[in-house]
Structure 1
Amino acid sequence: MHSRLRALDAEQGYFLTRDALALGYTAASFYRAKRAGQVVPIRHGTYALPDSWARLTEAQRHLVRLRASLERATARHVASHTSAVLLHTEGHWGLDLSHVHLTNPLRRAERRESGLTHHRATLPEEHVTEVGGLPTVVPARAAVELSTLVDTERTLVVMDSLRREGRTTKPELDAMIATACAWPGTLHTALAGRLASPLSGSVGESRTMYAFFRGGVPARCSSTRCTTGAGSSPSSTSGGPSTASRVSSTGWPSTAATCGPASRQRTRSSARRPGRIPSASCSVADSSATPGATWTIGTG
């Protein structure tokens, strides 16, 4: 394989058929190289070297296909929907990464081809930004666009991640949700926006909080004060006498901000049972009860 093609693959993760032809390959010789497994087709007219392609994750492969698609597209195309989400955050779960999504306001209609979906939409100037040299929609719009493709849980995971990483704010997200209220497929978008919180510490925690919501667990503050079953507060990571922490998706407390003083107790028995780890009582804010009420969350 030509050294220039190897350099292109190392630099951007792909090369185009026209790059190979410009270096002296004929259509027949390049086809023989493909048949021999020396290059891997990643989409129409776009190739990569097999060893480097095999090392990439699915998200990284999606971004490589996105760069190649934008290089072949017109100047008005921008990354949107799932592709824009991957540019803005790594905090996502269960997304279909097989298709690159591009939006062009000048298109007459939406179109879907192998590995690429073209969208048509009005794109105000303030809705477009640039990430790593690639034009894309802003984070708030990316999350709302994603909600037209996936369910509430997957949308919530992305909204939590964007807010946690400081990519967007609640006012920006609320304004974008209001703008998209008439878009097809956005009936559940406002719900995800109301549930979104920057205090969910991970993808797993966002999914856990959504499971609590679906299970009818009363609304609570995302930050909780946790103590051991014996009543002693765990020490903080900064060495303080006590800590305010929240329960992670694994059932163990992690350092966080306090939710407020507990004003009444609702605790289960913390007696040790054979083969069980002592439970932890957590002060939570409940919309249907006095803020700061204490729950006991067991790990068994």
Structure 2
Amino acid sequence: MRDEVRTLLAACGQVMSIGDLQALGFGPDEVRAMVRSGELVRIRRGAFVSGVVWRAAAPWERPALRARAVLRGLGPEPAVAPSHQSSLAVQAVSVHGTDDRVHLCRLDDGRSRQDDVVCVHRRVPAAFLIDTDVGPCVHAALASLQVATRFGVEAGLVSADAALRLRMATRAELEQALHVLRACPRRAAAARVVELASPLSESAGESRTRWVLLAVGLPLPEQQAEIADEHGLFVARVDFLFRRERVIVEFDGMLKYDDPTALRREKLREDRLRELGYEVVRLTWADLADPRLVERRLRGAFARARARR
């Protein structure tokens, strides 16, 4: 990659516009050559991301890169701000179950519009815009509920839980944001997110687990519950606890098991919980894709726990 392009990309968060390239003296043929070679990835007309960074980015890192590139391509003072999952991605709030388009809201009274890459919505109240390193963005509270109205409760819950956990939103702000959506046809989905949102969900997997449990008709368990032994000594803190049924549910992202020591420690912990009379159910990302499987596993654990008693 040309040194001047590499330098500008580093200064601009690994994104650049056609105007940036023209200012460096590159013409259309040279830009097309950089795209063909993979030095740059074109997100849309006039908006680019570093090819090296794009290819190395995890799927959950790409929405922020897309949003940043589109904004850069719109010029120094675009009349739009990131909204929905694009605002959340820019603010490093978890996103799940959305589309790949960049969602923006207008800062003026212009109309909404959309294409294959960008979806522009009508303006939101100024009170729900915050300053970020890319300019104004929709507040995480409202953005989470915007996601719910467009992609469903589960998607909105993942982001709302994360926003509460990261202290980027409060329950009061979620309730205020819900009032902004009072005329939205899918307001009920947003209202359900406000009702269920919890700062105790420590990952997107835990947020999704809560939703799947509800979706199959199970009650919500305690979150981040502490387990003690017969002497009252602390044994473990678990993701979810059905206390009366004596069933523990752990969401297992599997990432920690690259360390053999961590794997052994986790096995000993689980053995101790079973010694105390608890059933332990581990759920993975694949399990969450099959809610009926989750229901069967939980109901089987309830039955085993009853038989023990």
**In which range does the TM-score fall when normalised by the shorter chain?**
0.7 to 0.9
Within the candidate set 69, 82, 87, 1:84 is matched to: 87
Within the candidate set 227, 240, 247, 2:239 is matched to: 247
Deviations 1:158-189 (A, max 9, x none): 11111111111111111211331221322221
Q: In 1, distance between residues paired with 2:174 and 2:88?
A: 14
How far 1:198 sits from its partner (Å)? Answer: 1.2
Cα 1:131/1:38, change in 2 over 3 Å:
closer
How far 1:201 sits from its partner (Å)? Answer: 2.4
**134-143 vs 20-29, which moves further:** 20-29
Instruction: Kindly tell me the number of residue pairs found equivalent between the two proteins.
Output: 253
Q: In structure 2, give the amino acid aligned to 1:93.
A: H
Q: Is contact 2:154-2:208 (8 Å) kept?
A: yes
Superposed counterparts of 1:1-300, under 5 Å: 1-11=1-11, 12-71=13-72, 72=74, 74-96=77-99, 98-121=100-123, 123-227=124-228, 231=230, 241-242=233-234, 245-248=237-240, 251-252=249-250, 278=275, 279-280=277-278
How far 1:41 sits from its partner (Å)? Answer: 1.7
**Which has the larger helix fraction?**
2
Q: In 1, distance between residues paired with 2:157 and 2:209?
A: 11
Q: In 2, distance between residues paired with 1:53 and 1:210?
A: 32
Cα 1:212/1:297, change in 2 over 3 Å:
farther
Q: In 1, distance between residues paired with 2:181 and 2:249?
A: 36
Report the RMSD for the aligned CA atoms in angstroms: 3.0
Q: In 1, distance between residues paired with 2:304 and 2:198?
A: 21
SS in 2 for 1:199: coil
Q: In 1, distance between residues paired with 2:66 and 2:34?
A: 21
Unaligned runs of 5+ in 2: 242-247, 252-272, 281-301
TM-score (norm 1): 0.73
Which residue matches 2:268? none
**111-120 vs 49-58, which moves further:** 49-58
Q: In 2, distance between residues paired with 1:161 and 1:26?
A: 43
Cα 1:28/1:246, change in 2 over 3 Å:
closer
Unaligned runs of 5+ in 1: 234-240, 254-275, 283-294
Q: In 1, distance between residues paired with 2:92 and 2:303?
A: 34
Q: In 2, distance between residues paired with 1:40 and 1:180?
A: 36
How far 1:152 sits from its partner (Å)? Answer: 1.0
Cα 1:130/1:105, change in 2 over 3 Å:
closer
Which residue matches 2:293? none
Q: In 1, distance between residues paired with 2:8 and 2:237?
A: 48
Q: In structure 1, give the amino acid aligned to 2:3.
A: S
Larger radius of gyration: 1
* Percent of residue pairs identical: 25
Q: Which portions of structure 1, spanning 4 or more consecutive aligned residues, are displaced by more than 4 angstroms?
A: 276-279, 295-298
Q: Is contact 1:227-1:281 (8 Å) kept?
A: no
Which residue matches 1:291? none
SS in 2 for 1:65: helix
Deviations 1:99-126 (A, max 9, x none): 11111142432111241111113x3332
Q: In structure 2, give the amino acid aligned to 1:280.
A: Y
Cα 1:175/1:15, change in 2 over 3 Å:
closer
